Structure 1
Amino acid sequence: MRSPETVAPPLSRGNRLAYGFGSIADGIKSTAFSTYLLLYFNQVLGVSAAIVSTAIALTLVVDAIADPIIGRVSDRTRSRMGRRHPYIYGAAIPTALFFAFVWFPPAGLSDWSMGVWIFAFASLARLAMSTYQVPANALGSELTQDYAERTRLYGLRYWFAYAGTFAFAAFALKFFFVATPEFPKGQLNPAGYVPFALTGAGLMLVSILVCGWGTRSRIPFIRQADDRPVVPGLMAHLREMGSAFRNRAFLTIFGFAIFKWTAIGVYGATSLYFGTYVYQLTSGQLALLTLDGFLAVCIALPLAPRFTQWWGKRNAALYLAMMGVLLGTFPLVLVYFDLFFAPGHPLLLPTLLLVGAIYGAMVAVSLMTASSMLADVVEDDAVRSGGHNAGIYFSAASFAGQCASGLGILAAGIVLETSRFPAGIDPAKVTGAMTDSLILHYVPMVVGLWAVGCAIIAFYPITEAKHLANLERLRAREAEANNQTIQDAPIGAPVR
């Protein structure tokens, strides 16, 4: 822990930008796994949707074991680089390599063997990403304790995640998934997935390294591991993890995360299906449509602190999430009742772009606010436990997000199977009955998941006033401990 005389200077613009830039890696991995992985193996390679979605969902077992361990180890690490940066640097190359391997299965594998390949390398990629992402997310709570600045800092992180992710997706659709006479829908062209995978891996590597290098100047001012004895063994680990689930504020965020990320996972895994088969968009139009995500996060970044100020963090996360999902699914409801623009109509793409930008901005503000709320839980727990367990809390939240994303892909596979949407079908042979069945199974599931999550987050108890009170209690406790250390020091001993 830094000495009380060491006052951290304000965060520089470079610190903020580097920390935000680091989220591009997770954004690329998330959008690739949630949006393209199911489509690639199901519609391009012809593997059963049930096998693909199940294989991806089973990677949750790895997350369930690894994420809490990474968080606990990170919390207890003491080094010249602090307790977060060793893992940020160490995870960079493995993350890029394992991500790339996912997309290159050997030729001639059976469907079952394909499922094993997906599970093995997607698990390794998730494990490597968690080794970076859990400490990096915990680092954000240690860069600043300010209630409002945390929302801005995590907002910037989400801005880079959205901007980088959708810029990469648009670039891929424009230059990698180019329509050919053989593949008029470029996103179904298998050749495009080679540069897609390699470029994504390279960008992830750069993103992680920039995050570590750009925040290294803050290491002397970031809390080191608490001076608590490390109790080895599985039971000690489980007790520390269990302490997080005794915190009511964390439980509400955890429950919200499970349901919201499951819903987002369903959306991500099916968005190309709707764009390709329901709206019948070309790869160029889909590339243009990805701009809605960039517009959304540009709208959300300045608005997130304002909504926090107006409504408080809890209400901003709750209200905007629910309003956003209702708006986002409305075009599909209109399609189901034959009230929306037909494929090829000149107003179809602009309307989808506008709706997507507004819906995405609402959801983005909700996500930014929820991350800031989680950072506030760290001090709330410290008042009770006496330890700053940011790694444990952010690892549990990371697991919730990855778990729910996998559940979302599994749920998307269920939607595709129960709606009886065929694998490897020619877009020209898709009927209205097929798309109506897909919409009928998708919309109630997504709206229902968001509704349950919002009902849970309504019980979040930390307000700005309570957060400030927690900080004051912690400062008083640290001042008392430092005074006691000085009093107990031998005469003539150096004070440090």
Structure 2
Amino acid sequence: MNHSPDAIPLKPRSESLSLRTKLAYGVGELGGEIPNNILVFFLLFFLTSVAGLNPTLAGSVLLISKVWDAVNDPLIGILSDRTRSPLGRRYPWMLAGAIPLGVCFCLQWFVPPTTNQWLLFAYYSGIALLFYTAFTAVAVPHSTLAAELTTGYDERTSLVSFKAAFSIGASILSLTLAQVIFAKIADPSKKYLILGGVCGIIAMSAVCVCVWGTYKRYQAIQAQRIPVSLSSSLPIRQQLQIALSNFPFLCVIGIYLCSWLGLQVTAAILPYFVINWMRLPDHYFTQTAIAVQGTALTMMFFWSAVATRLGKRAIYGMGIPLTICALVGLCFLQPGQVGLMYVLAVMTGVGLSTAYLVPWSMLPDVLDLDELNTGQRREGIFCGLVVQFQKTALAIALFLVGKILDWAGFIPTTPGQSLPSQPESALLAIRWLIGPVPALVLVFGLVCAYFYPITRSVHGEILLKLLERRNSSKHL
């Protein structure tokens, strides 16, 4: 039997996570989430209204890049599970991906000196493929650290709350930078390129800070572990089959998929809604997005505290219905109702924070169940699969958003010219995409949360059985 030093503790670690470790782990979230938030909020709009790309081709860029990103996720997850180095399994991937991540993100916002649609399509597709390769090398290993820095049910929720808080903070920071840069620079092509450069530098730095700040804790955990069989002892296809036969894992996939499919489609259509339907300047879009994310950040630690009393599933069932109601309300909003738009943005943020917090705090508990069932630790493949399903569905959804806008007669902007007036059919499509469509997807997320079976007591039983098994192995 193969053995690994990256195994699970013989007994639960009594020393609590330090604030430094939690902060460093949270900072690592900036490496992926600052670029990701800028892309979600701005890329489709940038491609159609700055670079001058046809909406269908712009949606195709997103489809190709996201599908490639989804293919990368389980692959890099498996490879990181198998990696052995003095730095451990995850850190070499994070450090190798940091610089390409920042450079390619900056190049994503460069407007080539051509109006040829296919040359523009080729450029943005190629850069996106390179960017998402680096992005996955950073994001998937970072996500697995939540299961490798602590084993406690509630402590994991606390650790993930820092991850979620920095994820929301990344959105606020990136949107604030966008507003400042956009206010000072009038040229659309220049302001997006500068934003990409600044955010790329921050992302690279955040990855390095995360590695530096969590490495000591990671090594301390590894020193307490006993060997468990490597996941590489099984073929990849069999590993995938085992993972996908884990019912709680399928519930987590459903929660995460529906949460981000609904909310990121809303984020992608939000600039069109604010600028084309509400007829407001572009800085109102960033203010609206900041209102959503600022509220989510404020509510994050409230929901984390409530989860220690009521459980992870319960807070999702309390928060997401508020977001659903707010999204439906946006569909009926009329031009001029700016104050109500901000009220609905705040209401959206109250529920949004549970979508950041719940899926990633559930996943480490699923990993413990998988170890109980199989005797293996495979954080990488599980994290990779979660993100793969989410990104594949999101890629298809964003492609359809671009296609629907094209079908509805949306008029792209020629570089250097003012925004054209959109036909009524395009405005109606924007209103449906901002509210009812993502709200319906979130309803399915609530169904998945309802059937999620691992409560605090169930997780305690899982840890007890693992402890009994390890003690038996120790005395053999």
TM-score relative to the length of structure 2: 0.90
Counterpart amino acid of residue 211 in structure 1: C
- Taking only the aligned residue pairs, the percentage that are identical comes to 22
Report the AA paired with residue 375 of structure 1: P
How many aligned residue pairs are there? 465
Once the 2 structures are TM-superposed, how far is the Cα of residue 229 of structure 1 from its aligned partner?
Answer: 5.7
Distance in 2 (CA, whole Å) between partners of 1:147 and 1:81 is 26
Letter in 2 for 1:354: V
Give the residue type in structure 2 aligned to 1:401: Q
Query: In the alignment, is residue 460 of structure 1 matched against residue 452 of structure 2?
Result: yes
- SS of the equivalent of 1:457 reads helix
Q: Distance in 2 between matches of 1:440 and 1:94?
A: 37
Corresponding residue number in structure 2 for 1:493: none
* 8 Å CA contact retained: 2:413, 2:419: no
1:228 equivalent in structure 2: 229
Aligned letter for 1:107?
P
Q: Alignment partner for residue 471 of structure 1, among 463, 466, 469?
A: 463
Contact residue 404 and residue 429 of structure 2 kept, 8 A: no
Query: In the superposition, relative to structure 1, how do residues 6 and 288 fare at CA in structure 2: closer, same or farther (>3 Å)?
Result: closer
TM-aligned CA distance change 1:241 to 1:31, over 3 Å: same
Aligned counterparts, 1:431-446, within 5 A: 434-440=426-432, 442-446=434-438
Structure 2: how far apart are the matches of 1:43 and 1:225? 56
User: Contact 1:151 / 1:304 at 8 angstroms: preserved in 2?
Assistant: no
Q: Which residue of 1 aligns with 2:244?
A: 245
- Aligned partner of 1:175 in structure 2 is 181
Indicate how the Cα distance of structure 1 residues 417 and 318 shifts in structure 2: closer, same or farther if over 3 A, else same: farther
Corresponding letter in the other structure for 1:447: A
| AA partner of residue 399 (structure 1) | Q
Q: Specify whether residues 292 and 5 from structure 1 end up closer, same or farther in structure 2 by C-alpha distance, changes over 3 A only.
A: closer
Match of 1:491 in 2: none
> In 2 relative to 1, CA 106–366 (structure 1 residues): closer, same or farther, beyond 3 Å?
closer
The answer for the alignment partner of 2:216 in structure 1 is 217
Secondary structure of the structure 2 residue equivalent to 1:46: coil
- Secondary structure of 1:222's counterpart equals helix
- C-alpha change, 1:287 and 1:261, in structure 2 (3 Å) is closer
Counterpart-to-counterpart distance in 1, 2:425 and 2:236: 52
Match of 1:190 in 2: 189
Q: Is the 8 A contact 2:10 2:467 kept in 1?
A: no
Q: Alpha-carbon deviations, 1:383-423, whole Å to 9, x = none?
A: 10111111111111121232233233223213312332221
Whole-angstrom CA distance in 2 between matches of 1:120 and 1:397: 25
Q: Cα gap change, 1:74/1:440 in structure 2, threshold over 3 Å: closer, same or farther?
A: closer
Tell me whether 1:401 sits opposite 2:390 in the alignment: yes
1: CA distance, partners of 2:382 / 2:138: 15
1:417 maps to 406
* Per-residue Cα deviation, 1:134-178 (whole angstroms, up to 9, x for no partner): 111111112122212212211111111111222221221222354
Aligned 8 A contact 1:92 1:208 in 2: yes
CA drift of 1:217 comes to: 0.9
Cα deviation for residue 286 of structure 1 reads 3.3
CA distance in 1, matches of 2:230, 2:352: 41
**Matches of 1:481 and 1:253, distance apart in 2:** 31
Q: How has the CA–CA distance of structure 1 residues 441 and 275 changed in structure 2, closer, same or farther, with 3 Å as cutoff?
A: closer
Distance in 1 separating the partners of 2:349 and 2:395: 21
Q: Is the contact made by 2:175 and 2:286 (CA closer than 8 Å) also made in structure 1?
A: yes
Maintained 8 Å contact 1:87/1:132:
yes
Could you tell me whether the CA contact under 8 Å between 2:93 and 2:137 is conserved in 1?
A: yes
Residue 492 of structure 1 corresponds to none
CA distance in 1, matches of 2:230, 2:412: 55
Q: 2: distance between equivalents of 1:13 and 1:317?
A: 26
1:5 Cα deviation (Å)?
8.6
Name structure 2 gaps, 5 residues minimum. none
- Determine the C-alpha separation between the residues in 2 that align with 1:327 and 1:333: 10
Corresponding position of 1:487: none
- Structure with the greater alpha carbon radius of gyration: 1
- Alignment match, 1:106: 112
- CA-atom RMSD in angstroms: 2.5
Structure 1 position 434, deviation (Å): 4.3
Q: Deviations over 1:258-308 (max 9, x none)?
A: 232222221121111111122222244334334313422332222222332
Note the alpha carbon deviations across 1:345-370, whole angstroms, 9 max, x for none.
Answer: 6xx2x433332123112121233012
Distance 2:307 2:18 in 1: 23
Match of 1:63 in 2: 69
5+ residue gaps, structure 1: 184-188, 336-341, 485-496
TM-score, L = length of structure 1: 0.87
Deviates more, 1:199-208 or 1:54-63: 54-63
What whole-Å deviation, never above 9, does each CA across 1:303-347 have from its counterpart, x for those lacking one? 222332454212322442233122133133233xxxxxx43x6xx
2:377 corresponds, among 378, 388, 405, to: 388
From 4, 7, 11, the equivalent of 2:17 is: 11
Shift of the 179–289 alpha-carbon distance from structure 1 to 2, 3 Å rule, reads farther
Pairing 1:126–2:118 present: no
Alignment match, 2:253: 254
Aligned to 2:348: 359
- Gap change, CA 1:152 and 1:7, over 3 Å in 2: closer
Matched residue of 2:333: which SS? Answer: helix
Cα distance in 1 for residues equivalent to 2:413 and 2:193: 19
Letter in 2 for 1:424: T
Deviations 1:181-237 (A, max 9, x none): xx7xxxxx22211211101110110111111111011122234795536758xx811
Query: Is the counterpart of residue 322 in structure 1 residue 321 in structure 2?
Result: yes
8 Å Cα contact 1:154-1:372 kept in structure 2: yes
The answer as to whether partners of 2:141 and 2:380 remain within 8 angstroms in 1 is yes
Deviations 1:418-449 (A, max 9, x none): 33222118447346664234213543321222
